[in-house]
Amino acid sequence: MSASVQSVERAFRILEAVSERPAGVTALAERLGLPKSTTARLLSSLEQLGAVERADGRRWRIGPRVAALAEPTSPARSFAALARPQLAALVQGLGEDAGLSLPDGYEVLYVEQVECDHPVQVRDWTGTRAPLHTVPSGLVFLAEWPESALDAYLARGLVALTARTVTDPDALRARLEEVRRAGYAWGREEYAEGITSVAAPVRDARGHPVAAVHVHGPTYRFPREGEEKRVAAEVAAVAQSITRALQRETR
pLDDT at position 70: 54
Q: What is the CATH number of the domain that holds 37?
A: 1.10.10.10
User: Three-state SS for 207?
Assistant: coil
Same domain, 15 and 129: no
Could you tell me if 223 and 231 are in contact, meaning their C-beta atoms sit under 8 angstroms apart? yes
pLDDT at position 143: 97
pLDDT at position 67: 62
pLDDT at position 72: 44
Same domain, 154 and 90: yes
Range of the domain at 55: 3-70
Outline where 73-201 has alpha helix (H): 75-94, 136-142, 147-155, 169-182
Same domain, 65 and 112: no
Outline where 114-200 has alpha helix (H): 136-142, 147-155, 169-182
User: Three-state SS for 61?
Assistant: strand
Instruction: Give the list of residues 6+ apart from residue 180 with CB closer than 8 angstroms, or none.
Output: 143, 144
pLDDT at position 28: 87
Mean pLDDT by 10 residues, the chain (251 residues): 74 84 85 89 87 79 69 60 88 92 90 77 74 97 93 94 97 97 96 95 90 94 93 96 83 62
Give the domain-ending residue among 15, 42, 70: 70
Amino acid at 101: S
Same domain, 29 and 134: no
Give the domain-ending residue among 17, 47, 70: 70
* The pairing of beta strand 97-104 with beta strand 59-62: unpaired
Same domain, 184 and 165: yes
Write b or e for each residue in 124-138: b if 16 or more Cβ atoms lie within 10 A of its Cβ, otherwise e.
Answer: bbbbebbbbbbbbbb
- The whole-angstrom separation of Cα 158 and Cα 167 is 5
pLDDT at position 119: 56
- The whole-angstrom separation of Cα 110 and Cα 101 is 4
User: Three-state SS for 172?
Assistant: helix
- The whole-angstrom separation of Cα 208 and Cα 186 is 20
Could you tell me if 203 and 209 are in contact, meaning their C-beta atoms sit under 8 angstroms apart? yes
Could you tell me if 127 and 135 are in contact, meaning their C-beta atoms sit under 8 angstroms apart? no
Same domain, 209 and 92: yes
Name the phi and psi angles at 206, rounded to 5: -90, 0
Q: Which of 235, 198, 196, 236 is nearest to 217 (CA)?
A: 196
Instruction: Give the list of residues 6+ apart from residue 132 with CB closer than 8 angstroms, or none.
Output: 103, 106, 107, 108, 138, 139, 141, 142, 153
Is-above-0.95 flag for pTM? no
Long-range contacts of 27-34 (CB under 8 A, 24+ apart): 28/60, 34/10
